């Protein structure tokens, strides 16, 4: 069935059907950490159909990864479900599109040889084992290079003496790989590219001086390649990035109904599509994407005063400077606790739907003490660079004087999901004096909107708004970027101008932070940092 968020206006049924039949609809597909989502939008940029496929990363030989087989099976299943929903709802089969775009989890490492054979398994953003490379490149470039970045993975492979490095012909990210297989074009959107390698804002491409420094750093290895040659070409939002080939159409739609020749926009990462999906690409705007991981993006008026290891400097899809605070862990641990409670309910003989379970338990958090009654938790499913952990151990702790009840327990897990993020935001807002008028939220953390907004407002001490489409996140965002690309043939505009028209009247009222919540969160935040020794002991001994 079509998602409830995608109910078209009844009077427009024939219009939407006609648009799909005539190939005027636009499609966006995003590969997130736990779900691949496909969203179809009409000529008014409104979602009219969706499809999806759940998947999970695997840890194999110490590497968090997804296989090539899983990638293409997942994409075909997500598109297939969307296609089936369109057929059921409108009685038509998708054959062509006005535009198409792909997005994926930002960062990571995918490398291929001249025969296009994958050299090592896909190393995702979740792998925190490039600290040596990260530190050295940050020193050489005088520019923060986080562990997740593609260039950090490449240089760590160099430092490790991995044999595959000399065979590299092409290095990319998940979104870049998919785009290449669908179009034959080795290109990438500037927002996604800014998570591979530093960007020169004057050229909106990879920084030439830093590429030269990297080449000099590895010159004695005799690899036979220069780093510029193995990276994709950088494009900005609005540019056409190739067309769907016959081979690409078969990968996306194995049934063979989709025709080649459809134009694609530059592939982007989930950070860029999150900015688009929340209309947060203009200066003094910000957004926070909270799901399996959580990151906040604040569009900067100027560069930061110095290098901060906790802050990524990336760009919007149209190439403007962004300060990014990123935490590897957010909802996974409290999802596990809520699922455990659901199992307990079932054992007692009751049937409760997943939405009711989440809504009820998350709402209970608002009844808890503002400081969580002295409880403490760490949802470190994986390592957490923001606080210096290459590995994680989820844990919960309390003292004999703590107030241990359900509201405090749930509130603790919501608070702790945002504490690593707040560590980075404090640098941007308190130290660098970055000003932001409002932060716009999207992702699974906002399933129970009132709860998610209020807790996030407490953590950031900033008004938090969400959109009706907040739950759709990046899939809608990349569809909008594909629509923006298509629109440039008819009427040239800037990306902010385009999005202001799309979002006119759709932004929900911002939830302002309550003073008591902010004070309570800050108390918990201090407890969280004092307790990091407990988490470190767990990593060392469990």
So what's the pLDDT on residue 508? 73
In angstroms, the CA 152 to CA 197 distance is 9
So what's the pLDDT on residue 326? 87
pLDDT-based confidence at 14, cuts 50/70/90? Answer: confident
In angstroms, the CA 469 to CA 440 distance is 12
Q: Which two tokens stand for residue 168?
A: 């590299």
Quick: pLDDT tens for 270-317: 889 989 988 999 888 898 988 888 989 999 988 899 999 889 899 999
| pTM, two decimal places | 0.82
Are 43 and 50 within 8 A, CB to CB?
no
Quick: pLDDT tens for 88-128: 999 999 999 999 999 999 999 999 999 999 999 999 988 88
- Please choose, from the candidates 501, 473, 458, the residue with its C-alpha nearest in 3D space to the C-alpha of residue 366: 458
Distances (CA, A) of 542 to 384, 417, 539: 17, 21, 6
- Please choose, from the candidates 103, 166, 204, the residue with its C-alpha nearest in 3D space to the C-alpha of residue 479: 103
In the chain, the percentage of residues whose pLDDT exceeds 70 is 97
Quick: pLDDT tens for 34-63: 899 999 999 999 999 999 999 999 999 999
Pairing of strands 321-327, 294-299: antiparallel
Distances (CA, A) of 178 to 102, 119, 136, 269, 424: 7, 16, 30, 12, 31
Distances (CA, A) of 7 to 4, 10, 411, 436: 6, 8, 33, 33
- Please choose, from the candidates 416, 387, 389, the residue with its C-alpha nearest in 3D space to the C-alpha of residue 310: 387
Distances (CA, A) of 342 to 161, 350, 516: 48, 9, 31
**CB-based contacts of 122, cutoff 8 Å, min separation 6:** 65, 66, 67, 68, 71, 108, 109, 110, 174
In angstroms, the CA 394 to CA 372 distance is 18
Q: Which contacts qualify for 220-224: CB closer than 8 Å, 24 or more apart? A: 221/158, 221/165, 221/166, 222/166, 223/165, 223/166, 223/168, 224/166
Count of alpha carbons within 13 Å of 116, Cβ hemisphere only?
Answer: 7
Instruction: Compute, in degrees rounded to 10, the torsion defined by CA atoms 60, 62, 66, 70.
Output: 0
For residue 491, give the 3-state DSSP assignment.
coil
The domains located in the chain, with CATH, are: 280-466+512-542 (3.30.420.40)
Beta bridge partners of 294: 290, 327
| Average pLDDT taken over every residue of the chain | 93
In angstroms, the CA 373 to CA 412 distance is 9
Detail the DSSP E strand segments found in 369-452: 376-378, 395-397, 438-442
- Please choose, from the candidates 319, 311, 203, 230, the residue with its C-alpha nearest in 3D space to the C-alpha of residue 268: 319
Residue 486 has φ and ψ, to the nearest 5°, of -65, -35
For residue 235, give the 3-state DSSP assignment.
strand
Quick: pLDDT tens for 391-438: 999 999 999 999 999 999 999 999 999 999 999 999 999 999 998 888
In angstroms, the CA 103 to CA 479 distance is 9
Which residue is listed with tokens 């535009």? 99
Detail the DSSP E strand segments found in 158-293: 170-172, 187-189, 199-200, 205-206, 233-235, 268-269, 285-290
In the chain, the percentage of residues whose pLDDT exceeds 90 is 82
Residue 386 per-residue DSSP state: G
């Amino acid at each position: 069935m079509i998602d409830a968020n995608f109910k078209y206006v009844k009077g427009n049924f024939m219009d939407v059907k006609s648009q799909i039949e005539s190939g005027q609809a636009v499609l966006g597909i995003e590969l997130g950490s736990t779900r691949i989502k496909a969203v179809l939008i009409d000529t008014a940029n409104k979602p009219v159909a969706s499809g999806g496929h759940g998947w999970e990363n695997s840890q194999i030989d110490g590497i968090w990864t997804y296989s090539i087989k899983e990638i293409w099976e997942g994409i075909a299943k997500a598109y297939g479900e969307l296609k089936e929903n369109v057929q059921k709802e409108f009685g038509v089969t998708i054959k062509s599109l006005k535009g198409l775009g792909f997005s994926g989890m930002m960062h990571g490492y995918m490398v291929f040889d001249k025969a296009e054979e994958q050299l090592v398994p896909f190393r995702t953003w979740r792998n925190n084992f490039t600290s040596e490379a990260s530190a050295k490149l940050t020193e050489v470039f005088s520019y923060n290079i986080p562990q997740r970045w593609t260039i950090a993975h490449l240089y760590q492979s160099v430092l490790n003496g991995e044999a595959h490095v000399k065979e590299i012909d092409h290095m990319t990210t998940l979104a870049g790989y998919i785009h290449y297989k669908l179009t034959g074009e080795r290109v990438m959107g500037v927002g996604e590219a800014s998570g591979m390698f530093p960007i020169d804002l004057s050229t909106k491409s990879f920084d030439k001086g830093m590429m030269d420094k990297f080449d000099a750093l590895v010159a004695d290895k005799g690899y036979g390649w220069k780093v510029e040659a193995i990276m994709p070409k950088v494009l900005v939002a609005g540019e056409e990035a190739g067309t769907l080939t016959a081979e690409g159409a078969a990968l996306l739609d194995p049934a063979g109904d989709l025709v080649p020749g459809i134009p694609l926009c530059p592939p982007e990462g989930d950070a860029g599509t999150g900015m688009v999906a929340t209309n947060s690409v203009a200066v003094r705007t910000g957004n926070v994407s909270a799901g399996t991981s959580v990151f906040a993006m604040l569009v900067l008026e100027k560069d930061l005063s110095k290098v901060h290891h906790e802050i990524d400097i990336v760009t919007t899809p149209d190439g403007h400077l962004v300060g990014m605070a990123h935490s590897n862990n957010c909802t996974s641990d409290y999802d596990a606790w809520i699922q455990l409670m659901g199992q307990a309910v079932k054992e007692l003989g009751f049937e409760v739907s997943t939405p009711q379970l989440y809504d009820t338990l998350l709402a209970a958090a608002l009844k808890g003490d503002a400081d969580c009654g002295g409880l403490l938790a760490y949802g470190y499913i994986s390592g957490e660079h923001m606080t210096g952990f290459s590995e994680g151990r989820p844990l919960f702790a309390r003292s004999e004087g703590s107030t241990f009840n359900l509201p405090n327990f749930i509130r603790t897990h919501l608070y702790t999901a945002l504490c690593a993020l707040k560590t980075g935001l404090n640098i941007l807002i308190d130290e660098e004096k970055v000003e932001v008028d409002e932060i716009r939220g999207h992702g699974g953390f906002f399933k129970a909107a009132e709860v998610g907004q209020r807790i996030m407002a407490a953590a950031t001490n900033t008004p938090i708004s969400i959109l009706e489409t907040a739950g759709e996140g990046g899939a809608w965002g990349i569809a909008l970027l594909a629509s923006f690309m298509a629109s440039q043939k008819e009427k040239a505009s800037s990306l902010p101008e385009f999005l202001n028209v799309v979002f006119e009247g759709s932004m929900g009222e911002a939830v302002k932070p309550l003073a008591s919540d902010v004070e309570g969160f800050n108390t918990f935040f201090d407890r969280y940092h004092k307790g990091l020794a407990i988490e470190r002991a767990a990593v060392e001994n469990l």
